[in-house]
C-alpha cells in the first residue's frame, strides 16, 4: 500500500470512515512528514541561511498541532460512536496565511501584522471545519500575496520547490503548492488574484483550481485586489479539488459578491466524461505579448516544451471524444498585463491603508511626533519592498488627475477582455466552447532571484495566461501534464465560463485518468525521494 500521506484526500477520508485508520494516525503521519521535509518555519528574525535550509521545503509558518489533534480526536470519537461526519472527516489540510483563523496567528507573510490573532475565522475555514477536515497549519506566501515566487515573504527562509530546491515554488500560494506537492497534507487552501493558485500548482506538479469570482466566499481572507481575489484548493488529484470546491462553494451573506447560483455536485459530475465537449485553443495563449522599448506590441514564443504539451494534451482530449477548435481569437489578452497592473495596484494600495500601526500588528518602537509620524514609521518598518512598491504605484495611478488615463482605461480594457470570453463561450456564437486549453505558465519553475534579476520575458510575463481569468471572473484549473527535460513539472490550464467549474474539472479529470499510467506520472518530487 502506498504511504498514507501520499493518498488523495478522498482515499484518506474513505480509510478513516471505514475505520481502517484513525484520524489521529493520519495526522501523526502527516506531522512526521512535515518534520522530515519542511525544515525550520519562516520567521521574522534576521535570516542567516544555514546549509540544511537549502534542502528543505519550508512551506509552513505555523503548525497548529494541538488544535489539529483536538479536531482529529473529535472526528475519531464521532466515527466510533456512529455519529455522522463530514466528507473530509479527518483529512489534514493547510491554509495560506491570509485565511483568518480565530485565535491563531495570521500574518499575510508581512511584518505589519506581527502578533495579530484574528477574533474570527474566514467563512471557508469554518466550512472546512464543518466538513470535518483537520487544519494542521498556516503556510507561507508572498507578502500580502504580492508576487509569483513566494520570495517577497517577510518570513524567511522562503519556500523551496519540492521538485528542485534551487527553484521557486511559484506564488503567491507557494507554501500551499509546496506542502501539497511534498505530501504535507493532501489539501491546501490558496488564493488567486492573477494566477496565485494556478502558477504554483503548475510549478510543483499539482492541481490548482481558481473558481469563478463569487463562487466561494472571500469573507475573512486578507485581500490583495478585491475585485479579482478568489479562493480555491490546491490538491494532488482533480477529484480532491472537486470535493473541496463542493464543500467551500456557495452564497455567503458576509460576502456581497457571492451569488445564489446552485453548487453542482462536482465529484459526481467527473464521471460524465467529455464526449462532445468543445475545447478551444487560442493562438493568443501560445505567445507572450508585451510592449517593447518603443511602446509597440511585440510577441515572443512560449517555451517550446510547453507549447508542445498543449498540442499533445489536445490530442488526448480529442481521443476522449472532445472536439478541438483551433484558432479561437482572444485578441484582447494583450491588454491583460498592463490593465491588470493598474487595477490590482489601485485596489491593493487602498486595501493596505488600514495597516496603520494603531489597531493591530506592528507598531513602531521609535519615538513619534504625531499620528502621521506613527503611520510613517510603523508602515515604513512593517511593509516589505514589494508591498511598498505596490502601494506607491497604486497611489500614483489612482490620483484623480489620472483617473481617465489609468483606472477608467483599465476598466475599459477589462470589459474588452471579458467580451473575448463572452464570445468564445456564447452557446449561440461562432465558437460555442465549453473550455479553452492554455498553458498555465509560459515556462516551468525558474531559479531563485530570476523574477527580479532575469530579463527573460517568460519570467516577466509569467502570469499572462492566468490574469485574464481574474479580470474576466471566469474559472480556471491548472493540472499537471508532464515533466520537462530538466525534470520540472509542466502545467496546463483549462478555463471555462462563469460557474462552469464542473466542466473544467471534468476535462482535467478525463485527462488525468487517460494519462494515469504515463511514465512521467511515476516521477516524484525530490522531497519524496
Partner 1 sequence: MMEYIATIGLETHIQLNTNTKAFCSCKADSWGDVPNTNICPICTGQPGALPSTNQAMVEKALMLCLAINADINMDSFFDRKNYMYADLPGGYQVTQNDRSIGRGGYLDFLMDDGREVRCHIHNLHMEEDAGKTKNEGDIRLIDMNRCGVPLVEMVTMPDLHSADEAATYLTRLRQLLRWLGISEANMERAHLRCDANVSISPKESNELGKKCEIKNINSIEAVRTAINFEIERQIREINAGRKIEQWTIEWDNDTQELRKMRSKETAADYRYFREPNLMPVHISEEFLESVKLKMPELPIRRRERFINELGLPAYDASVLTTEREISDFFENACKIYNGDNKRVSNWMMNEVLRVMNETGCTVSELKITVRDLADIIQMVDQKTINTTTGKNLVDMVQKTGKRPKLLVEEQGLGLVSDDAAIRDISAKIVSSNPKEATSYQNGKESLIGWFVGQVMREMRGKADPEKAKEILLELLKKN
User: Does 219 help bind partner 1 (rule: CB under 8 A)?
Assistant: yes
Query: Does residue 399 touch partner 1 according to CB under 8 A?
Result: yes
CB of 364 to partner 1, least distance (A): 15
At its nearest, how many Å lie between partner 1 and the CB of residue 223? 7
Asked if 113 touches partner 1 (CB under 8 A), the answer is yes
Q: Is 367 in the site for partner 1 (CB under 8 A)?
A: no
**C-alpha distances in Å from residue 348, one per residue of 193, 228, 374:** 11, 11, 21
Q: Are strands 207-210 and 287-291 parallel, antiparallel or unpaired?
A: unpaired
Using CB under 8 A, pick the residue from 356, 434, 501, 512 that binds partner 1: 356
Q: Which residues pair with 482 in a beta bridge?
A: 490
Q: Single out the segment in contact with partner 1 by CB under 8 A; choices: 40-48, 50-58, 96-104, 178-186.
A: 96-104
| Interface with partner 1, residue 141, by CB under 8 A | no
Q: Report if residue 360 touches partner 1, rule: CB under 8 A.
A: yes
- Whichever of 110 and 161 has its CB closer to partner 1, that residue is 110
Stretch that binds partner 1, among 215-223, 311-319, 325-333, 429-437 (CB under 8 A): 215-223
Q: How far is the CB of 485 from partner 1 (least distance, A)?
A: 42
Angle at which helix 336-351 crosses helix 385-397, to 10 degrees, equals 100
Binder of partner 1 out of 6, 14, 227, 338 (CB under 8 A): 227
Residue from 105, 331, 350, 456 binding partner 1 (CB under 8 A): 350
- Number of residues forming the site for partner 1 (CB under 8 A): 45
* Length of the chain, in residues: 529
Q: Name the one range near partner 1 by CB under 8 A: 63-71, 193-201, 354-362, 433-441.
A: 354-362
Rule CB under 8 A: is residue 226 a binding residue for partner 1?
yes
Measured distance CA(245)–CA(232) in Å, rounded: 7
CA pair distance 193, 481, nearest whole angstrom? 23
Q: How far is the CB of 226 from partner 1 (least distance, A)?
A: 4
d(C-alpha 220, C-alpha 122), whole Å = 4
With vertex at residue 78, the alpha carbon angle to CA 75 and CA 84, rounded to the nearest 5 degrees, is: 105
C-alpha cell at 217: 466566499
CB 221 within 8 A of CB 98: yes
Grid coordinates belonging to 448? 531563485
116 binds partner 1 (CB under 8 A): yes
Instruction: Specify whether the CB–CB gap between 73 and 83 falls below 8 A.
Output: no
* Three-state secondary structure readout of 318-360: HHCCCEEECCCCCHHHHHHHHHHHHHHHHHHHHHHHHCCCCCC
Contact with partner 1 (CB under 8 A) among 290, 375, 431, 448: 375
Rule CB under 8 A: say whether 211 interacts with partner 1: no
CA distance 171 to 148: 4
Q: Check binding of 523 to partner 1 (CB under 8 A).
A: no
Instruction: Give the bridge partners for 476, in sequence order.
Output: 210, 495
Among 47, 120, 290, 448, binds partner 1 (CB under 8 A): 120
Give the integer Cα–Cα distance in Å for 270 and 274: 9
Which of 261, 157, 156, 144 is CA-nearest to residue 212?
A: 261
Residues carrying an active site annotation: 96, 172, 196
- From 36-44, 268-276, 283-291, 392-400, span contacting partner 1 (CB under 8 A): 392-400
To partner 1, the closest distance from the beta carbon of 376 in angstroms equals 10
> Which residues make up the interface to partner 1 (CB under 8 A)?
98-100, 106, 108, 113, 116, 118-120, 122, 218-223, 225-227, 253-257, 346-347, 349-350, 352-356, 358-360, 371, 375, 395, 398-400, 403, 407
Amino acid at each position: 500500500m502506498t504511504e498514507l500521506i501520499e493518498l488523495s484526500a478522498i482515499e484518506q477520508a474513505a480509510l478513516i470512515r471505514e475505520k481502517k485508520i484513525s484520524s489521529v494516525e493520519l495526522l501523526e503521519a502527516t506531522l512526521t512528514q512535515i518534520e522530515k521535509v519542511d525544515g525550520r518555519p519562516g520567521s521574522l528574525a534576521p535570516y542567516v541561511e544555514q546549509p540544511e535550509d537549502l534542502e528543505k521545503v519550508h512551506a509552513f509558518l505555523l503548525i497548529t498541532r494541538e488544535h489539529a489533534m483536538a479536531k482529529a480526536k473529535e472526528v475519531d470519537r464521532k466515527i466510533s460512536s456512529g455519529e455522522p461526519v463530514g466528507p473530509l472527516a479527518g483529512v489534514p489540510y493547510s491554509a495560506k496565511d491570509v485565511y483568518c483563523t480565530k485565535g491563531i496567528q495570521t500574518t499575510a507573510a508581512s511584518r505589519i501584522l506581527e502578533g495579530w490573532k484574528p477574533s474570527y475565522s474566514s467563512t471557508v475555514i469554518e466550512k472546512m471545519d464543518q466538513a470535518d477536515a483537520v487544519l494542521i497549519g498556516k503556510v507561507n506566501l508572498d507578502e500580502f500575496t504580492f508576487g509569483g515566487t513566494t520570495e517577497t515573504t517577510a518570513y524567511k527562509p522562503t519556500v523551496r520547490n519540492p521538485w528542485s530546491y534551487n527553484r521557486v515554488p511559484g506564488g503567491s500560494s507557494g507554501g500551499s503548492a509546496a506542502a501539497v506537492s511534498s505530501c504535507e497534507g493532501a489539501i491546501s487552501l490558496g488564493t488567486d488574484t492573477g494566477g496565485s493558485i494556478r502558477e504554483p500548482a503548475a510549478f510543483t506538479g499539482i492541481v490548482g483550481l481558481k473558481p469563478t469570482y463569487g463562487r466561494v466566499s472571500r469573507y475573512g481572507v486578507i485581500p490583495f485586489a478585491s475585485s479579482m481575489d478568489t479562493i480555491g484548493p490546491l490538491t494532488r488529484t482533480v477529484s480532491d479539488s472537486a470535493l473541496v470546491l463542493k464543500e467551500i462553494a456557495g452564497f455567503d451573506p458576509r460576502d456581497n459578491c457571492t451569488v445564489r447560483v446552485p453548487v453542482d455536485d462536482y465529484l459526481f459530475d467527473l464521471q460524465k466524461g467529455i464526449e462532445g465537449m468543445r475545447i478551444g485553443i487560442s493562438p493568443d495563449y501560445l505567445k507572450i505579448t508585451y510592449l517593447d522599448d518603443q511602446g509597440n506590441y511585440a510577441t515572443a514564443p512560449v517555451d517550446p516544451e510547453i507549447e508542445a504539451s498543449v498540442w499533445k494534451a489536445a490530442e488526448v482530449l480529442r481521443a476522449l471524444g472532445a472536439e478541438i477548435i483551433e484558432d479561437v481569437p482572444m485578441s484582447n489578452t494583450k491588454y491583460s498585463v498592463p490593465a491588470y497592473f493598474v487595477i490590482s495596484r489601485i485596489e491593493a494600495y487602498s486595501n493596505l491603508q488600514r495597516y496603520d500601526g494603531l489597531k493591530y500588528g506592528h507598531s513602531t518602537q521609535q519615538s513619534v511626533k504625531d499620528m502621521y509620524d506613527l503611520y510613517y514609521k510603523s508602515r515604513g518598518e512593517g511593509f516589505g519592498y514589494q508591498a511598498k512598491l505596490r502601494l506607491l504605484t497604486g497611489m500614483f495611478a489612482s490620483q484623480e488627475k489620472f483617473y481617465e488615463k489609468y483606472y477608467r482605461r483599465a476598466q475599459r480594457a477589462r470589459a474588452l477582455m471579458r467580451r473575448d470570453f463572452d464570445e468564445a463561450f456564447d452557446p449561440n456564437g461562432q465558437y460555442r466552447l465549453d473550455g479553452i486549453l492554455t498553458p498555465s505558465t509560459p515556462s516551468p519553475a525558474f531559479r531563485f532571484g530570476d523574477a527580479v534579476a532575469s530579463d527573460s520575458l517568460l519570467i516577466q510575463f509569467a502570469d499572462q495566461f492566468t490574469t485574464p481569468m481574474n479580470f474576466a471572473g471566469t474559472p480556471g484549473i491548472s493540472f499537471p501534464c508532464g515533466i520537462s527535460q530538466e525534470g520540472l513539472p509542466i502545467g496546463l490550464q483549462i478555463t471555462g465560463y462563469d460557474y462552469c467549474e464542473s466542466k473544467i474539472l471534468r476535462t482535467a479529470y478525463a485527462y488525468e485518468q487517460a494519462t494515469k499510467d504515463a511514465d512521467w506520472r511515476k516521477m516524484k518530487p525530490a522531497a519524496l525521494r
